[in-house]
Amino acid sequence: MKVKYKNGSLFDGTDFTFEEDDFVTIVVRYWVKKDDDEDDVYYHGFITEFDEEREGFWARLDDGPDKEEFFRFSELEAVIPGDRIPFLAGTTKKI
């Protein structure tokens, strides 16, 4: 399925190939920043459920394995494989 990420995303309009139980990196803010004072924000976790009506998905995050958080595609910059992190204009392998 094609995904509509937030305005300015490098990944806007790309195919979303992830499924439930996939380990992903959820990029909230990295490439699209308003100020240099803003920190990078991304999470690692497992997709648990898609919500087509709300145009997003639920994920169980590494830093809170007992709770799930909802992410709306239009509020994200990208979802990338969980072994990757954002770096410059692309991604790099997570150490």
Got the DSSP string for 14-69? -B----TT-EEEEEEESSS-S-TTSPPEEEEEEEEEEETTTTEEEEEETT-TT-EE
- pLDDT tens, 50-84? 998 889 999 999 887 788 999 999 999 999 999 99
pLDDT value of residue 18 = 95
Please answer whether residues 75 and 57 qualify as being in contact, where contact means their C-beta atoms are separated by less than 8 angstroms.
Answer: no
Q: Look at the domain 23-93 and name its fold.
A: SH3 type barrels. (2.30.30)
Q: Where are the domains of the chain?
A: 23-93
pLDDT value of residue 46 = 96
pLDDT exceeds cutoff 80 at 35: no
